[in-house]
């Protein structure tokens, strides 16, 4: 890289530095890029491999599914038959079961009715019994509360109270204890004593007595017993409250006896119901027995039926299972066919891609080495140097046995076609250099600094920003002051893109932390220090630095901080742009359709890529058998269907695009010629720093040339007309800006490049002609005494070229012929030997002349140019302010490029008078302190109209950046400028003059042209018919004026012969001629007889003679003037030369 950088600087005059920091950047880029590419390739490969595996698996499943489907179909048919037979049996059994079920249902109804009857009787009886039960339960409860001691207390009575006796009597009667028969001692009648009986029986065992009362069978009471106790019950003395007064125990017994009495009568009334209930229950038992028997029969029938139905259901389930499996097999087969049919073609491509990606993975280290080197080093180089570096790097890797892809470079390794196509739509040229720049721009870590003299990168970045800068973008210049700082702060804070245009060879110091990416965390967020401010850093921020300087020289300490990219237009890229322009002009519908196709094709290819990514992603994420996922298959099928539709459209578009390209190809000769011509113009800038021409200017001129070229229905003739017309117009426009000494050089450049484009010039031969110091491969003594050694070495060096093999020998053998050639005044018109006259073409003969008589090259070049592309290309158009003014605009300055002794100011004043602008013309000669005045003049004229003339800009270099800013503001706001405003500048050539002004300006030189004809033409362009006829002796004035102009042209043209023309080179000026013309006019009007001697004296001795200091030169000037200012000049057909080729004019001709 260092060797190439040195060669680059030596040959191209461009500087690219290789520093240790560059190498560290290379290592960093390699590390990041290697990891990224490895992951990227592995990910794509794995996706594709997974897709291939899924498709292969689906292919295997198809065969298995076909076998399984064949085996299952007989089983399914057999099961279907069994199900149908079982259905017949089940139907028959269901009928029998239905009959049995009807019988059982009837019996159930009867049993239910009988059970309802029993329930009703039972409910009635229980309702009656319920009336006695509360008293009985109260008595029982009271009995339970009694204790043995309470009964023993009753038994202990010797003479019990009456209530106790009554209670015991009733208890004994109810319990069936007989009374003790006693005689009443008073009456001697027998009476029943139940107290003693009670003491002896029931009260003897209190516990047993209480249990007897509680457990007494109340249903065993007899009517006899009830009759016996009935009087007691009705006896008020036997009321519970009365008895309670006598004894607590007797109270409970009393309550019990009352309850028994009540229960008896209730039970007596309930008894018929009980009997009826018993009879009903007996009958219900019989009915239930019959019902159970019927239910048993029904259960057997139903169990059998259930078993049959279960078997049937199992058979049906099996049938359905088999049918489902058969259906799923068919569906899976259909899905598999859909999957394989849809993606089967992809399988082959994916498999091949997997193999390719595996190779790429093996070669990734070597490929990334080249790409990293490109990103770190090649940005500043042109295409040829980059290609040479790539080739050398690949050779080194081959020698070191480092695996890499053949012809690997940054485009092949890092380029993505969809992204590149989008860049092209955004304005990135399609040539390899520009695409490499786009990729480096996208991948590099450092912020880019783009060398962009044609504003291609600027347009591309702005268009890309409109599309991708989510937070917007700002375009600023380093000269914008606070606006520039504010744009940087807003860009960093809000994540905007900041595009800095018109960068010079030094950068603003406040860019330093941004270029270094000196971000640091603060409160959980990244910040950066810009000047005295600490600003939050948004990672969406982007910085793009753009310079329009064609060949800036950035020091190494700056180059290591940025990614330097050379966006200078390339021949292929420019040809493509010019083709688009000419087709848009000549066949606009074709170009419109082409642009639409490019955009549509890019969108569809992007969609195709997204669809394939979606398909591979779905296949990768699919779990288990993908044939079971109907949604997945449908999505894949739809995606593939969409892909196929898009592919079909893409193919259709490719056919249409091919047809359009074929149609557009017809206009390639014009685009090719335009590209050649632009580089002829661009190559002028190293010759003089003032020769700066922008691509926009060239494009505008090209479009005008297409519009103004002669029309023709025949395409080839039309193309020839455009090429010829535009070439001539370009020649005239550029020559207006060139010094006389460079016009022939430009004509030669045009000629050679046009012939090179036509394949008529060998590049080795051209380099031999253009370069000096060639070392001959052969050695031979100089055989002549009339050739110097340098000339002989040049002749020997011709043998280095294949076409000149044997030329030296022929030269030695034919010295007399070459001696004549060497001595000739016009050697290029002399013949060489017959062999070399026939063998060499005109260009190759120039090489002979270059070797033998280099001092005679001018005339030979003129003939070569004239014979190759036409005589008009050696006759530059004369200086014409009016024509120049017509193509100017209020936003484009008019620049006079001065030469020593030239002063166009008088011509400008005269032209201003013709245009009526004298009163509004503001003029100032720049120098120290004049800048503010000039700014005030410009401001005044832009608002109110008028011309501003800033003279000698080269004397105020420090103010020129301000002038550049003013011109940029004018270009940005043309609507604010008065239509009559024009800015005129004059300057000597200086490399400090702002390039942007020169590129935008209409440039002119005001030197005397070379050649008699050109000088005469220029002189006469300043005359009007009114001026020529405004004399008392118009015929004499016209004739003598022609002679004076011839004299002026002759003494100017003699200067090109050096000391042969004049011993001292004199700076004769146009002002000398104007003074002489005015004196001629005045003296002709003042005197009746023409004072030839006086006029001769004034011209020779005063006006021109005042500049001539050498006596010989004075005498020469006088002798020349004698032929032009003399009485004979007024005679008809007066000849200025013996040949008669140069003679006076007919003064009677008005025009």
Identify the pLDDT of residue 865.
Answer: 94
d(CA 919, CA 618): 80
Highest mean pLDDT among 9-23, 126-140, 609-623, 990-1004 belongs to 990-1004
Identify the pLDDT of residue 450.
Answer: 94
Identify the pLDDT of residue 206.
Answer: 78
Report the pLDDT averaged over residues 592-617.
Answer: 73
Contacts of 133 (CB under 8 A, 6+ apart): none
| H or E element, residue 388 | helix 383-399
DSSP string, 24-73: HHHHHHHHHHHHHHHHHHHHHHHHHHHHHHHHHHHHHHHHHHHHHHHHHH
d(CA 1145, CA 1134): 8
d(CA 490, CA 432): 35
User: pLDDT per residue over 995-1019, tens digit each?
Assistant: 889 988 999 987 766 778 877 887 8
**% of the chain with per-residue pLDDT over 90:** 22
Report the pLDDT averaged over residues 688-716.
Answer: 89
Identify the pLDDT of residue 59.
Answer: 65
User: pLDDT per residue over 356-376, tens digit each?
Assistant: 888 888 888 998 998 898 888
d(CA 347, CA 351): 6
Q: Are strands 533-536 and 525-530 parallel, antiparallel or unpaired?
A: antiparallel
Report the pLDDT averaged over residues 134-153.
Answer: 69
Identify the pLDDT of residue 448.
Answer: 93
Q: Is 80 exceeded by the pLDDT of residue 338? A: no
| H or E element, residue 528 | strand 525-530
d(CA 838, CA 1008): 40
d(CA 566, CA 16): 11
User: pLDDT per residue over 232-282, tens digit each?
Assistant: 888 888 888 888 888 877 888 888 888 888 877 777 776 677 677 677 677
- The strand pairing partners of 982, in sequence order, are 947
Identify the pLDDT of residue 464.
Answer: 93
**Which tops the pLDDT comparison, 733 or 45?**
733
Identify the pLDDT of residue 363.
Answer: 86
Q: Is 80 exceeded by the pLDDT of residue 633? A: no
Report the pLDDT averaged over residues 782-811.
Answer: 90
CB 783 within 8 A of CB 746: no
User: pLDDT per residue over 1028-1080, tens digit each?
Assistant: 888 888 888 889 999 999 999 888 888 877 888 889 888 788 888 889 999 99
Q: For residue 159, what is the DSSP state?
A: S
CB 571 within 8 A of CB 675: yes
Lowest average pLDDT, out of 156-170, 362-376, 449-463, goes to: 156-170
Comparing CA positions, the residue from 64, 62, 645 lying closest to residue 335 is: 62
d(CA 157, CA 306): 79
Q: 667 — phi, psi (to 5°)?
A: -95, 5
Comparing CA positions, the residue from 408, 232, 289, 454 lying closest to residue 999 is: 454
Average pLDDT, the chain: 83
User: pLDDT per residue over 831-868, tens digit each?
Assistant: 888 889 889 999 999 999 999 999 889 889 999 999 99
CA atoms in the 13 A half-sphere facing the CB of 104? 17
Residue with tokens 């700014």: 935
pLDDT-based confidence at residue 1151 (cuts at 50, 70, 90): very low
d(CA 555, CA 552): 10
């Amino acid at each position: 890289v260092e060797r190439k950088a040195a060669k680059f600087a030596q040959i191209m005059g461009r500087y690219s530095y290789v520093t240790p920091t560059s190498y560290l950047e290379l290592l960093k880029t390699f590390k990041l890029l290697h990891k990224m590419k490895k992951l990227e390739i592995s990910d794509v490969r794995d996706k594709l491999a997974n897709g291939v595996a899924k498709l292969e698996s689906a292919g295997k499943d198809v065969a298995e599914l076909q076998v399984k489907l064949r085996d299952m179909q007989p089983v399914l048919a057999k099961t279907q038959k069994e199900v149908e037979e079982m259905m017949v049996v089940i139907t028959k059994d269901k009928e029998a079961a239905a009959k049995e079920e009807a019988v059982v249902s009837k019996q159930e109804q009867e049993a239910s009715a009988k059970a309802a009857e029993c329930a009703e009787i039972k409910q009635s009886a229980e309702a009656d019994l319920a009336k006695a039960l509360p008293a009985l339960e109260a008595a029982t409860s009271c009995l339970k509360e009694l204790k043995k001691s309470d009964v023993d207390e009753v038994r202990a009575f010797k003479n019990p109270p009456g209530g106790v006796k009554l209670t015991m009597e009733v208890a004994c009667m109810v319990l069936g204890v007989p009374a003790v028969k006693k005689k009443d001692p008073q009456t001697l009648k027998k009476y029943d004593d139940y107290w003693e009986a009670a003491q002896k029986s029931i009260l003897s065992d209190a516990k047993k007595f209480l249990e007897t009362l509680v457990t007494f069978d109340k249903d065993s009471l007899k009517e006899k017993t009830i009759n016996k106790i009935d009087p007691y019950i009705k006896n008020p003395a036997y009321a519970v409250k009365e008895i309670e007064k006598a004894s607590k125990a007797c109270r409970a017994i009393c309550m019990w006896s009352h309850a028994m009495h009540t229960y008896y009568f209730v039970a007596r009334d309930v008894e018929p119901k009980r009997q009826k209930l018993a009879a009903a229950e007996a009958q219900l038992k019989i009915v239930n027995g019959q019902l159970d028997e019927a239910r048993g029969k029904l259960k057997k029938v139903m169990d059998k039926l259930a078993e049959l139905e279960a078997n049937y259901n199992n058979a049906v389930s099996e049938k359905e299972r088999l049918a489902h499996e058969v259906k799923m097999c068919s569906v899976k087969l259909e899905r598999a066919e859909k999957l394989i049919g849809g993606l089967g073609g992809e399988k082959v491509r994916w498999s091949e891609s997997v193999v390719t990606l595996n190779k790429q993975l093996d070669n990734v280290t070597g490929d990334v080495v080249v790409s990293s080197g490109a990103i770190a080093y090649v940005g500043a180089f042109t295409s040829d140097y980059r290609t040479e570096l790539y080739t050398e790097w690949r050779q080194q890797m081959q020698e070191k046995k480092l695996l890499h892809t053949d012809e690997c470079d940054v485009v092949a390794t890092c380029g993505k076609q969809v992204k590149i196509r989008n860049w092209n739509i955004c304005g990135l040229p399609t040539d390899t250099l520009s695409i490499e720049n786009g990729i480096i721009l996208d991948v590099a870590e450092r912020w880019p600094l783009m060398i962009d003299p044609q504003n291609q990168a600027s347009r591309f970045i702005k268009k890309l920003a409109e599309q991708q800068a989510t937070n917007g973008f700002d375009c600023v210049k380093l000269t914008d002051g606070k606006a520039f700082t504010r744009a940087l702060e807003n860009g960093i804070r809000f994540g905007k893109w900041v595009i800095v245009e018109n960068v010079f060879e030094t950068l603003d110091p406040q860019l330093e932390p941004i270029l270094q990416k000196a971000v640091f965390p603060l409160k959980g967020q990244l910040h950066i220090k810009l000047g005295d401010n600490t600003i939050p850093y948004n990672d969406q921020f982007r910085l793009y630095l753009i310079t329009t300087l064609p060949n800036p020289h950035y020091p190494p300490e700056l180059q290591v901080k940025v990614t330097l990219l050379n966006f200078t237009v390339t021949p292929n890229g420019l040809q493509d742009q010019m083709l688009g322009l000419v087709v848009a002009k000549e066949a606009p519908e074709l170009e419109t359709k082409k642009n639409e196709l490019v955009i549509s094709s890019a969108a569809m290819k992007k969609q195709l890529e997204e669809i394939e990514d979606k398909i591979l992603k779905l296949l990768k994420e699919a779990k288990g058998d993908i044939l079971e996922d109907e949604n997945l298959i449908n999505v894949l099928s739809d995606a593939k269907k969409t892909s196929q539709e898009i592919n079909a459209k893409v193919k259709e578009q490719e056919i249409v695009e091919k047809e359009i390209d074929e149609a557009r190809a017809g206009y390639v000769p014009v685009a090719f010629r335009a590209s050649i011509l632009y580089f002829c113009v661009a190559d002028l800038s190293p010759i003089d720093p003032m020769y700066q021409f922008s691509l926009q200017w060239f494009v505008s001129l090209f479009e005008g040339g297409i519009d103004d070229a002669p029309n023709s229905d025949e395409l080839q003739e039309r193309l020839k007309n455009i090429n010829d017309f535009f070439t001539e117009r370009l020649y005239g426009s550029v020559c207006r800006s060139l010094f006389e000494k460079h016009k022939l050089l430009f004509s030669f450049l045009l000629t050679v490049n046009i012939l090179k484009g036509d394949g008529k010039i060998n590049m080795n031969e051209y380099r031999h002609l253009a370069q000096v110091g060639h070392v001959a491969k052969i050695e031979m003594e100089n055989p002549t005494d009339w050739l110097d050694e340098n000339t002989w070495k040049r002749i020997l060096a011709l043998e280095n070229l294949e076409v000149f093999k044997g030329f030296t020998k022929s030269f030695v053998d034919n010295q007399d012929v070459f001696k004549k050639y060497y001595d000739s005044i016009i050697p290029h018109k002399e013949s060489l030997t017959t062999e070399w006259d026939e063998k060499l073409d005109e260009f190759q003969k120039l090489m002979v002349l270059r070797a033998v008589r280099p001092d005679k090259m001018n005339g030979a070049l003129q003939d070569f140019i004239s014979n190759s592309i036409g005589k008009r290309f050696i006759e530059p158009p004369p200086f014409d302010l009016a024509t120049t003014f017509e193509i100017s605009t209020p936003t484009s300055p008019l620049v006079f490029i001065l030469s020593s002794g030239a002063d166009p100011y008088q011509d400008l004043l005269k032209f201003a008078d013709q245009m009526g602008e004298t009163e509004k013309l503001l003029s100032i000669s720049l120098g120290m302190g004049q800048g503010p005045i000039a700014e005030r003049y410009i401001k005044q004229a832009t608002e109110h109209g008028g011309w501003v003339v800033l003279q000698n800009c080269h004397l105020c270099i420090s103010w020129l950046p301000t002038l550049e800013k003013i011109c940029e503001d004018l270009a940005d706001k043309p609507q604010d400028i008065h239509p009559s405003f024009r800015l005129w500048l004059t300057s000597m050539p200086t490399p400090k003059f702002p390039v942007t002004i020169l590129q935008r300006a209409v440039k002119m030189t005001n030197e005397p042209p070379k050649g008699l004809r050109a000088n005469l033409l220029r002189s006469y362009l300043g005359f009007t018919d009114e001026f020529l006829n405004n004399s008392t002796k118009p015929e004499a004035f016209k004739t003598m004026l022609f002679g004076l102009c011839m004299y002026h042209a002759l003494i100017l043209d003699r200067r090109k012969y050096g000391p042969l023309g004049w011993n001292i080179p004199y700076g004769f000026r146009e002002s000398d001629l104007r003074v002489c013309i005015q004196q001629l006019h005045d003296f002709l009007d003042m005197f009746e007889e023409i004072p030839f001697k006086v006029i001769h004296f004034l011209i020779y001795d005063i006006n021109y003679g005042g500049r001539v200091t050498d006596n010989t030169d004075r005498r020469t000037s006088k002798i020349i003037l004698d032929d032009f200012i003399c009485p004979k000049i007024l005679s008809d057909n007066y000849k200025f030369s013996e040949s008669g080729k140069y003679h006076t004019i007919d003064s009677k001709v008005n025009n």
